[in-house]
Amino acid sequence: MQNNNASADRIREKKKLFLAREQRIIDAAVELFLEESIDRITVSKIALRAAIGKGTVYKHFLTKNEILIRIILDYERNITQSLTKGIKRAEEGDSGAAAKSYFEARLENPKLDRLIQQLEDRLLESGDVADQVEKLHKLRRSNENALSGLITKLIDRGVLEDVPAYFHYLACWALAQGAVELCFNKTWNDRTDTEQLMEFITNIGVTMGNRGQYHPDDPKSKKDK
C-alpha cells in the first residue's frame, strides 16, 4: 500500500517535471522568437535555451510545428479569458467593455501578439498540424458565440448598427490585428506617442459600429448625422 502510494507519488512527480519541462520548451521558443528572426530559430537553439537535449524536444512535440501551434493556442486561451471577463462586464451594463477588454488584451504585449500572427501565417501555409489548427479555430468560434449573444442584445437595444452580429466582432478583430501590426511596422514605428495612438484606436474599436455611423444603401445617411 505504502509502496503503491510511493510509486504513485513518484509517477506524479515525474509527470510534473515532464510538464514543467514542456513549459520550459515553450518559454524558450517564445523568448527566442521574440529576440530574433523567426526563420533563424532552430530546434537546436530552442533546446539549448531550454537547457535540454535536442532529442528531448521530440519527446514532447512530434514536430517543430507542434511547438508553434502550442504557442498560438496558449496565447489564444489567454485572450479568451480576458474576453470572457469583458463579456461578463458588458452583460452587467458596460456596453463597450467586451471590445475594450479584447483590445487591451491584444495590445498589452503587442510584440507577442504579432509573433502569434506570424507563427500562424507560417503554420497555416505549411499544411500539417491540421487537427491542432482546427482546435484553434474552435476556440475562436466559441469566443464568437459568446459574443454573438451580447452583440445581438446591443443591436436590439439600438446601441449597435443592425448588421449580422459577427460583422461587429470581426471588424473589432480586424482593427486590433491592424493596430498590432502598426506597432511593429518599420515604416511607422518611430513615432514617439504610440501609447496615445493605441488609445485612440482602442476608442475607435469601442465605438465603431455604433448606430448612426453606418447607413448602407442610403445616400442621405451622411446628412443624418
Partner DNA sequence: TATGAATGAGGCTTCATTCAT
Partner DNA sequence: AATGAATGAAGCCTCATTCAT
Pick one of 6, 8, 18, 111: the residue that binds DNA (CB under 7 A).
18
Pick one of 167, 195, 220, 224: the residue that binds a second copy (CB under 8 A).
167
Task: Answer with the entry of DNA, a second copy, none that 152 interacts with (C-beta below 5 to 8 A by kind).
Answer: none
- Binding of residue 118 to DNA (CB under 7 A): no
- Residues 57 and 25: beta-carbon distance below 8 Å: yes
Looking only at residues 10 through 49 of this chain, which bind a second copy when binding is defined by CB under 8 A? 36-40
Pick one of 10, 15, 77, 200: the residue that binds a second copy (CB under 8 A).
200
Binding-residue total with DNA (CB under 7 A): 22
Pick one of 53, 149, 164, 212: the residue that binds DNA (CB under 7 A).
53
> Count of alpha carbons within 13 Å of 66, Cβ hemisphere only?
10
Pick one of 35, 36, 44, 111: the residue that binds DNA (CB under 7 A).
44
Closest separation in Å from C-beta 3 to DNA: 12
Nearer to DNA, 125 or 190 (CB): 125
Task: Answer with the entry of DNA, a second copy, none that 216 interacts with (C-beta below 5 to 8 A by kind).
Answer: a second copy
- Binding of residue 124 to DNA (CB under 7 A): no
C-alpha span between 105 and 107 (Å, rounded): 6
Task: Answer with the entry of a second copy, DNA, none that 207 interacts with (C-beta below 5 to 8 A by kind).
Answer: a second copy
DSSP track, 112-132: HHHHHHHHHHHHHHH---HHH
- Binding of residue 152 to a second copy (CB under 8 A): no
Residues contributing to the site for a second copy (CB under 8 A): 36-40, 117-118, 121-122, 124-127, 133, 136-137, 140-141, 161, 163-164, 166-167, 170-171, 173-179, 181-182, 186-188, 191, 193, 196-197, 199-201, 203-204, 207-210, 213-214, 216, 225
